Amino acid sequence: MLEELAALAPQPLTVVLERDGAYPPMNDLLLELKLARAALRRGRARQPSIKAESMKSIKQSHPSGSSARLEGVLARIYVDGSLRASFLAEPEAFATRYLPNPEDAAALASMDRTGLAMAARSFARKRELKRTQR
């Protein structure tokens, strides 16, 4: 379905992998991200009318150099309040301390703070709901 959407939509797409508190192992999540990115690439490749500028923005929003380490740090920031507070206090310093790849550090430092806060609250609510249902 994601491949079909990418073939039809000319604008850059944002894709969210959402869980209802049932988080699989990190390697499984990373595989899902890899598969989603591949589906987007296949769909875009089928869309001959997409402009070079649109492709450029897609590559910038999902750089191929994005590392598993960046994704791991992001996952920890989403669920660890003290780590998130440290990131929010000094994003650039935090990013360069935890990510040796300058592209990954820049991507992390430029992260949307509002989206981070909203996602962290959502994850916390889902974890709490899961705990209370046990």
* pLDDT at position 66: 57
Q: Does 70 lie in the same domain as 126? A: yes
Q: Does 116 lie in the same domain as 72? A: yes
pTM assigned to the model: 0.49
Q: Does 80 lie in the same domain as 58? A: no
Q: Does 86 lie in the same domain as 51? A: no
* pLDDT at position 52: 44
Q: Does 7 lie in the same domain as 71? A: no
Q: Does 76 lie in the same domain as 41? A: no
* pLDDT at position 100: 87
Q: For 64-90, how does the pLDDT look when each residue is reduced to its tens digit (9 = 90+)?
A: 445 678 888 888 888 888 899 999 999
Q: Domains in the chain: how many in total?
A: 2
Which residue, 15, 31, 62, sits at the end of a domain?
Answer: 62
Q: For 3-54, how does the pLDDT look when each residue is reduced to its tens digit (9 = 90+)?
A: 888 888 777 778 887 777 777 888 888 888 889 889 888 988 887 654 444 4
**In which band, very low, low, confident or very high, does the pLDDT at 61 lie, cut at 50, 70 and 90?**
very low
Full domain range(s) for residue 32: 1-62
Q: Does 55 lie in the same domain as 91? A: no
Q: Does 83 lie in the same domain as 21? A: no
- What 124-130 contacts at long range (C-beta under 8 Å, 24+ apart), as own/partner pairs, is 124/79, 126/19, 126/20, 126/21, 127/21, 127/79, 129/21, 130/20, 130/21, 130/22
Asked if 112 and 120 touch (Cβ cutoff 8 Å), the reply is no
* pLDDT at position 55: 39
Q: Does 85 lie in the same domain as 109? A: yes
Of residues 134 and 83, more confidence is placed in 83
Q: Does 52 lie in the same domain as 15? A: yes
* pLDDT at position 109: 92
Q: Does 42 lie in the same domain as 76? A: no
